Amino acid sequence: MKALLSKEFKLCVHPALFIYLALILMLLIPNYPYLVSCFFVCNGIFFCFQQARENGDAMYTAMLPVSKAQAVKARCLFVVIIEMIDVVLMAAMCAFALVAMPETNGGGTDHSLSLIAFALVLFAIFNIIYLPSFYKTGYKAGTAFLKSAIGIWIWIILSDGMMIASNAVMESSVDIAFFRYLHENVDCMPKTAEALTVQAILFGAGLLLYVVCTLLAAKISVKRYEKVSVA
């Protein structure tokens, strides 16, 4: 597995991936939907799959003394590592924003634990859709990405849309308990014990969903790819 993972990083990493990871700096843009930066990372992963396909990686891997299951698991682990790098970078940017950008984000979720939780859900959606879809054929990277992009953007619109709505309601004279709760406990830097608890629960739920979806995606991908001929 270590050798296969090394192959992934040495032969399959597309240069655009580094650019997309650097787009974590988008978290410094005031009033912006920060989850969009995670979508670009998913786009970078897609480019890696596409580059591997064009370079004949499937045939090359088939000639190695490894099983299809091992090859798929190594690629899935490669994806997880990239996503976790982005999550760590996001956490660092959120910590920096505590000092540099204390203002409320009117364009989406604030720099908070909730944002990281929502990012984990986004990556879970990408993994559960993209990986099994790609490994159904082993070469239709574009089709798989289109399917996952639909799921990702639905999540971005729903999650950030709710946060935008909560900000709009709080700035108006209307008092709606649900949106006030979101504003005070979810879409904010946690300043109270309740807000911290709520966001910790969201983070735990997001992490659990990510783990479950990724493991399930890997399992389905292995089963599908074992039926694919790479000759």
Q: Does some domain include residue 230? A: no
Total of domains in the chain:
1
The Cα-based distances of 199 to 97, 109, 118, 168 in angstroms read 17, 12, 10, 21
The Cα-based distances of 87 to 38, 171, 229 in angstroms read 9, 31, 35
Q: Does some domain include residue 57? A: yes
Q: List the structure tokens of 129.
A: 């859709």
* Distance separating alpha carbons of residues 6 and 65, to the nearest angstrom: 15
Tell me: the pLDDT tens digits for 2-14? 888 888 998 889 9
Tell me: the pLDDT tens digits for 22-36? 999 999 999 999 999
- What is the predicted pLDDT for the residue at 142? 93
Q: Does some domain include residue 122? A: yes
- What is the predicted pLDDT for the residue at 196? 92
Q: Does some domain include residue 71? A: yes
Range of the domain at 130: 2-225
* Below-50 pLDDT ranges, the chain: none
Q: Does some domain include residue 231? A: no
Nearest to 115 by CA among 203, 191, 181: 203
Nearest to 61 by CA among 44, 85, 81, 78: 78
* Distance separating alpha carbons of residues 103 and 93, to the nearest angstrom: 14
Q: List the structure tokens of 125.
A: 């959606």
Q: Does some domain include residue 88? A: yes
- What is the predicted pLDDT for the residue at 231? 59
